[in-house]
Amino acid sequence: MSKPSLGIIGSGRLGTAIARQASAAGYVVRLANSRGPESLSLIVKVLLPGVIATTVDEAILQSDSIVLALPLNQYKSLPVQLLKGKIVIDAMNYWPPTEGEIPEFMNQEVTSSEYIEQYLPGARIVKTLNHVAYNELEQHSLPEASPGRRAIALAGNDADAKAKVELLINDMGFDAVDLGVLSNGRRFQPDTSLFNTRLTAQEIRST
C-alpha cells in the first residue's frame, strides 16, 4: 500500500530532518518555506533527494498531512482556509529564548497547540515531534520492535488523525505514545521531563 503524502511548512533544522526521515520511509514529501521553492533547490538536490520543494499553499493542497515546522512567531502567515479539514501536526514550541516572547502564548492556561487549534478552525491538530531534537530524529531512529526503541508522544482531540500520525511516527523509526486530548500536550512542552529526553514508550507512560 502506498504511503500518504506529507507537506512540511518550515525547511530549517526540524523541517529538513522530518523530510529526510519521512522520505526514506517512502512518503511523498513536499517542503516549503516563506521564500519559495527556488530557495530550496540546492538543499533538496544535495541533502534531500526525492523531496519536492514547493510553495506553502501547494504543500498543503497536495498533501494528506501537514507538519508545522516553522517558528511559532510566524503562525499568522499560515493559510487558515487551506488547512481546514487537514491533519496538521504541530511540532512548534513556544520557546522565548530563541524566538522571543509572544504575548498570546504567555498565558499558561492554554497550551501553544490549543491556541493554534483555535487559530486554525477545522484543522485536525495533533501535537507531536516537538519534544525531540532534530538531529535525534535520525540518530535515534530504529526499526519497529527494536529493544529500547525511543518513543515520541502525541496528543490531540481527533482519534482518526492521531492514528494516522502514529503510523508516521512508527515509519520514522519511533514508538508512538498517545497521551490523550490536545490539552495533555502540556506534558511534553519545553521545560517538562518529557522534553528532549530519550525515553521508551513504557517510560513515557509511567512519567
Give least dist CB 1 to ligand NAP, A.
29
Task: Let me know: does 22 contact 168? Beta carbons within 8 Å.
Answer: yes
Q: From CA 183, how far away is CA 201, in angstroms rounded? A: 20
Site for ligand NAP, residues 171 to 190, rule: CB under 6 A? none
Contacts 24+ apart (CB under 8 A), 166-170: 168/4, 168/6, 168/22, 168/27, 168/65, 168/89, 169/128, 169/129, 170/144
The only residue of 26, 34, 57, 139 in contact with ligand NAP, by rule CB under 6 A: 34
Alpha carbon distance 133, 95 (integer Å): 13
Pick from 91, 126, 153, 155: which binds ligand NAP (CB under 6 A)?
91
36 touches ligand NAP (CB under 6 A): no
Determine the 3-state secondary structure of 178 from DSSP. strand
Is 60 a binding residue for ligand NAP by CB under 6 A? The answer is: no
Residue numbers 109-148 binding ligand NAP by CB under 6 A: 130, 133-134
Based on the shown chain and the rule CB under 6 A, indicate whether residue 198 belongs to the binding site for ligand NAP: no
14 or 155: whose CB is closer to ligand NAP? Answer: 14
138 vs 160, beta carbon nearer ligand NAP:
138
Q: How far, in Å, CA of 77 to CA of 94, rounded?
A: 16
Site of interaction with ligand NAP (CB under 6 A): 9-15, 33-35, 39, 56, 69-72, 74, 77, 91-93, 95, 130, 133-134
